A = this chain, B = another copy of it.
Amino acid sequence: MSLPHAILTALLEKPSSGLELTRRFDRSIGYFWSATHQQIYRELGKLEAEGLIRALPAEQPARGQKKAYEVLPAGRAELARWTGASQDPKPHRDALLLRLRAAAVVGTAGIEADLRRHLELHERQLAEYREIERRDFPPGRDGPEDRLRHLVLRAGIDLETFWIQWLGHALAEFAHLPDAGEGERPGEPRA
């Protein structure tokens, strides 16, 4: 249950409207906690009802009008509490690894092309992260906040690097496999 806390963090970094939050989730925060605009609007409503955030007063608060929120002291306190509380890591789910395991039983037909596609996607993401690193973390900036945020970005960079390497290994393995990509069924007797 971390979406409210992701939103609190984003709002503390800068008070924003629902749509602005949505855009920022598409960029930085969404890299490790994605959310759609509907989730965000719903959660903003809840957080306001709970007294953790409030809408900044606007001139004409009408529909189709930006409505910006800011974090109240209670919200900051709740975020600090959650941040410091011990949490168990959630078990991950990775469909690609699952598919590879399935391929060991029903055959590898079609999967190699998708591995290549994933490789490209990860390379693109890595390039984006490196660009952010170059832009936001030049050698000079190294206050405590910068160090922490840089650390998070490093995780993103290293994870993408890992996937690129692993997909490389996987594709190399496929090159050695008999009839790779031709739909053979390794679990079945072969002629």
Instruction: Say yes or no: is A151 at the interface (Cβ < 8 Å to chain B).
Output: yes
Q: Is the CB of A9 within 8 A of B101?
A: yes
A99 CB contacts on chain B under 8 angstroms: 5, 82-83, 87
Structural contact, A148 and B103, CB atoms closer than 8 A: yes
- Which B residues are CB-close (under 8 A) to A95? 2, 33, 87, 89-90
Specify the chain B residue showing the minimal Cβ separation from A149: B104
A111 touches B83 (CB 8 A): yes
**Interface on A for B, CB 8 Å cutoff?**
2, 5-6, 8-9, 12-13, 29-34, 76, 79-80, 82-87, 89-111, 113-114, 117-118, 121, 143-145, 147-149, 151-152, 154-156, 158-159, 162, 165-166, 169-170, 173, 176-178, 183-184, 186-187
- Docked Cα-Cα span, A83 to B5, in Å, equals 36
**Are B93 and A110 closer than 8 Å at their CB atoms?**
no
User: How far is B183's CA from A104's CA once the two chains are assembled, in angstroms?
Assistant: 50
Interface SS, A side: helix
In contact, B111 and A84 (Cβ under 8 angstroms):
yes
Complex A-B, nearest 7 residue pairs according to Cβ-Cβ distance, in ascending order: A84-B110, A34-B91, A104-B148, A80-B106, A144-B186, A32-B97, A104-B145
Residues of B within 8 A of A79 (CB): 102, 105-106
Alpha-carbon distance between A145 and B113 when the two chains are bound, in angstroms? 19
